[in-house]
Amino acid sequence: MRVLSPLGVTPDTLKPLAPRPASLNGLRLGVLDNSKPNADVLLLRVAELLAARAEGVTIRTWTKPGSSRPATMIDEIASSVDVLLTASAD
Amino acid sequence: MEARGVPAVVLGTDAFLSLARAQAAKKGMPHLPVSLVAHPIGGVDPATVRRRADAIVDEVLAGLTRDPAPPARPTASVGAALVEAPDDLDALQTWAMDARWSDGLPVLPPTPARVNRVLGARAAHRHEVIATLAPLDGAATLEAMAINAALAGAGPEHLPVIVAAVRAIADPRFNLNAVQTTTHPCTPLLIVNGPIAGRLGISGGPNALGNGHRANAVIGRAVRLVMQNVGGARPGLEDRATLGHPGKFSYCLAENDAVSPWPPLHVERGFPAASSTVTACGAEAPHNVNDHGSTTPEGLLLAVAGTAATTGSNNIYLAGEPLVILGPEHAQTLASTGWTKAEVKRRLWEMVRIRLDRFSAENLARFATIDPARFANQPADAEVHWCLAPEDLVVIVAGGPGKHSSVVPTFGATRSMTVPIEE
């Protein structure tokens, strides 16, 4: 039979998100592809559409070596972009 | 990325929303913007994928340029996991012990249907977090409490008492983290006052602290299971009790308002007589006071004081609020010459004293570092009281006919908390 677990959910500490810019004008937009099928298509299309809605947006992409491994280029990305698009799971 | 100051939006497919959310929540960012397209995108014509991208671009732009408000309750959206358990009720017991869900007594399966029945009208608010419980800071949602109530065999009518009791033990003054993890044998003794006790059959009469009363048994047990399962205090692991005591299965009674010569506990603490409350005390097992002989208040108090004045009690050096549960006949004797409850407390406090030469030198040295005002540089014939002040004693009336009362020492570093029961 299916039963509900009585174990508690232990919350992690709530962390603040990064402050948001008012617009994407002149910003460096990073794209981190998680290497799942068609993730690159989805991410790049969204990135192009975002760039089209602002002025002077540059796009740079990175691809994770495998979707189930953590990205190794985090430091490089963090220092190279102002905002980031990425993908999770399939 | 967010932690490094780079705003991010995560794209995903709707089928994996829970995974993306769980990952974000695990990193402390349940409010991280996630934009979803219809699942799947793998194995789909790229033109279709691009069309789905077109549909979410506004949302992604908002996610990158608008500050998302953190959720008021970070875990409010996280419900209990549904897991596969044995159908056979006997096999379920072994399984529940292996999962560390059980207290050792038989548990009933918390199926979604049974949990919903316990929740009743509260099902709409099942993810509301009522309290955060030490030691693991588990979120005591209504749902989590109802699941443990269902395990314990409690019904929907018991849930309001369970919820109020959980609020009481979560009050910082109760010091739940210490009560849950100490080596000392303590657990919340739940004292129910007011009309709900009669309605639910919570006994304050004969054998009130013993067996034979379903409401007492399942309410106390459900709160214990919430402490173990939601608070995360597993016996022998986070719960470090050396011996524990039998009240850790269930420890709940009502005050016997009807036969008490004095105002009940909740009225003493400022609640209307017609309201119902639950008081949680971080308590040891009851220590009996047998007095079949005394016919005067002074004589009877000698027996109570003699039982209370023991050298092995936490209250001696940690103070706190020791409890006295007076049997109705003893209460009548104490009130027979007009003593109020405050008078009983004052006289009893005066009488419960222990000479310091009854403690070992090592113990006295230890107590002196904890409470130098009472223990440091004192002569051997100095006496310490049971607690700091008469008002710190908690006195209630419960039980049936007979000449017995109970002294209940507490953990010491805990205050008893009274919370109204909201039905």
pLDDT, greater one: B79 or B400: B400
Is the model's pLDDT at A15 over the cut of 90?
Answer: no
Q: Is residue A57 part of a domain?
A: yes
Element (H, E) at B417: strand B417-420
- Identify the pLDDT of residue B322: 97
Task: Confirm whether A51 is domain-assigned.
Answer: yes
Domain membership flag for residue A3: no
Per-residue model confidence (pLDDT) at position B13: 77
Burial class (CB in 10 A: 0-12, 13-18, 19+), B188: buried
Q: Write out pLDDT tens, residues A32-68.
A: 998 777 888 999 999 999 999 999 999 999 988 665 5
Residue from the list A18, A74, A88 with its beta carbon closest to the beta carbon of B16: A88
What's the rounded mean pLDDT across residues B382-403?
97
Contact state of B67 with A9 under an 8 Å Cβ cutoff: no
Arithmetic mean of pLDDT, A79-90: 86
Confidence at residue B5, expressed as pLDDT on a 0 to 100 scale: 86
Q: CA of A12: which chain B residue's CA is closest?
A: B28
Q: How far is B375 from chain A (nearest CA, A)?
A: 41
Q: Provide the domain count of chain A.
A: 1
pLDDT in tens, B94-114: 999 999 999 999 999 999 999
Q: Does B195 touch chain A (CB under 8 A)?
A: no
Q: What is the separation of C-alpha B105 from the centre of its chain, rounded to a whole number of angstroms?
A: 19
- Residue ranges making up the domain that contains A64: 28-87
User: pLDDT tens for residues B25-61?
Assistant: 546 777 888 888 887 887 788 888 888 888 999 999 9
What ipTM score was computed for the predicted complex, to two decimals? 0.84
Whether A21 is covered by a domain: the verdict is: no
Percentage of the residues of chain B whose pLDDT score is greater than 70: 95
The mean per-residue pLDDT over the stretch B122-138 comes to 94
> Is residue A12 assigned to a domain?
no
What is the average pLDDT across B308-333? Answer: 96
Q: CB distance from B31 to chain A under 8 Å?
A: yes
**Res B77: pLDDT:** 46
Is A11 domain-assigned?
no
Question: How far is residue B252 from each of residues A45, B6, B202, B216, B248, measured CA to CA in Å?
Answer: 62, 53, 8, 5, 10
Q: What is the mean pLDDT of chain B?
A: 93
Do residue B64 and residue A24 have CB atoms under 8 angstroms apart?
yes
Contact B9 A30 (CB under 8 A): no
pLDDT tens digits, one per residue of B230-263: 999 999 999 999 999 999 999 999 999 999 999 9
pLDDT of residue B263: 97
- Closest residue, chain B, to A17 (C-alpha): B2
Q: Is residue A8 situated within a structural domain? A: no
In a domain, A50, yes or no: yes
Interface test with A, best of B14, B41, B128 (most A CBs within 10 A): B41
C-beta of residue B204 within 8 angstroms of C-beta of residue B253: yes
Nearest CA to A65 out of A29, A30, A31, A36 is that of A36
Nearest CA in chain A to B25: A12
- The C-alpha of B415 sits at a distance from chain A's nearest C-alpha, in angstroms, of 25
